[in-house]
Amino acid sequence: MSSIVAIVGRPNVGKSTFFNRLIKRREAIVDSVSGVTRDRHYGKTDWNGKEFSVIDTGGYVVGSEDIFEEEIRKQVQLAIDESDIIVFVVDVEDGITPMDKEVAQLLRQVDKPIFIAVNKVDNAMRVGDAVEFYNLGLGDYHTISSINGSGTGDLLDAIAEAVPAQNEEEVETEELPRFAVVGRPNAGKSSFINALIGEDRNIVTNIAGTTRDSIDTKYNRFGFEFNLVDTAGIRKKSKVKEDLEFYSVMRAVRAIEHCDVAIVVVDATRGFESQDQNIFWLAEKNKKGVVVLINKWDLVEKETNTMRDFEAKIKKQIAPFTDVPVVFISALTKQRIFKAIETAVEVFENRKKRISTSKLNDTMLDIIKQNPPPATKGKYIKIKFCTQLPTRTPQFAFFANLPQYVKDPYKRFVENKLREHFDFTGVPITIYFRPK
């Protein structure tokens, strides 16, 4: 499970620019991911072989001037509670401000790696000005310019060093599938879980959270056995207003990174809002299985095609990854809640599906022969062989003479054909074109 790095600091010090630089930098190393721009405040990045999630708290601060400071304090407190590593961004032009002192005061009580990033240091004179940030009492600092990128490499080296090495072996020992129930506040996550578990408390064992704030409920009914990770109101914090968007995202990040299938609960009366989309993209980027549950369906006025139109609208919002099951439920009346679980189990099975190389080649090479990639600069692309990679999630390599000329639309075409013939519903798949 990757570490969470939170970027904190007062407004206008360049947190988002720094965040964007980290995420873009990652896109240069790793395959670029569609949907990255849709949720500007969360991204995955890797550096020196370490993978971690980055959260830009600045994107979540809302409010008029007078409640601004209170909001920022809350955010910093949350970031401290929920993240593993903290980057505190300050501005060399302004020097130390009273707000910086307050943030530093909070951070000094924390036993986690904290990095001070003195931003806007874009010439030698300003390097000298940065010395005053020693007075924050948080030790050494890094001078960066998030606009032109100077210094960010060194800072990333230091962050990567603080990220613990991931042990693949540990992940493999999980035998029961883990389903995380995620969604924005008041979508009905708790009601859904209560409806599932019902009165049959005897079949449930609560395992103290493997992550710091999730309670796993072992579920065993109707021939299904799995762990349910409940992110709903697990740990009501007095100092946190439950409606904070940032808080629900933080929790979703934790739960999603640690699950096999994310069950995204959406409030039918509110529709599929941007916060729901963020949580959906979070699961997609982490290569998790996804099931979308439209809860409170009993409260929606129905006409002949209401369900079909609602689903079509969602699919439009989550394109290009539209091969996702959408189940309409009511946690209150228990309508279709077992269908929801059946679907999640199917998605889990799809995610660990292996296709034999001979079967894959027989099916796909035939399709590719009939619809070859368009020629580029007068050069014809020939794809000779394909195989599924031995990874935990479905990834495929296609070997071609000129892989660099294969464009995104063709990759999507190949992905759609794979889905059509082998059923990967609910599962993100990755396709690589490699030199043969």
pLDDT in tens, 331-342: 889 899 999 999
Taking each helix axis as running N to C, give the angle between helix 408-422 and helix 357-370, from 0 to 180 degrees, rounded to the nearest 10.
130
What pLDDT is stored for residue 214 in this prediction? 53
User: For residues 79 and 57, is the Cβ–Cβ distance under 8 A?
Assistant: yes
The rounded distance, in Å, linking the Cα atoms of 78 and 84 is: 11
- Element containing residue 369 per DSSP (H, E): helix 357-370
What pLDDT is stored for residue 248 in this prediction? 65
Known binder of ligand: residue 9? yes
Known binder of ligand: residue 48? no
Known binder of ligand: residue 231? yes
Known binder of ligand: residue 91? no
Residues of the chain with pLDDT under 50: 26-39, 64, 168-173, 199-213, 233-243
Known binder of ligand: residue 188? yes
User: For residues 234 and 185, is the Cβ–Cβ distance under 8 A?
Assistant: no
How many residues can be counted in the chain? 436
Bridge-based pairing of strands 215-221 and 205-207 is antiparallel
Known binder of ligand: residue 119? yes
User: For residues 288 and 261, is the Cβ–Cβ distance under 8 A?
Assistant: yes
Block residue for tokens 């006409």 = 303
The number of C-alpha atoms within 13 Å of 151 and in the hemisphere containing its C-beta is 19
The percent helix, strand, coil of the chain (3-state, each to 5) is 40, 20, 35
Known binder of ligand: residue 121? yes
Known binder of ligand: residue 304? no
What pLDDT is stored for residue 434 in this prediction? 92
What pLDDT is stored for residue 38 in this prediction? 37
Alpha carbon of 333 to those of 167, 307, 308: distances in Å? Answer: 43, 18, 21
Q: Is 368 exposed, middle or buried (0-12, 13-18, 19+ CB in 10 A)?
A: buried
pTM: 0.70
Known binder of ligand: residue 234? yes
Specify the DSSP class assigned to residue 113: -
- Tell me, what amino acid is at 222? F
Known binder of ligand: residue 59? yes
Known binder of ligand: residue 58? yes
Known binder of ligand: residue 345? no
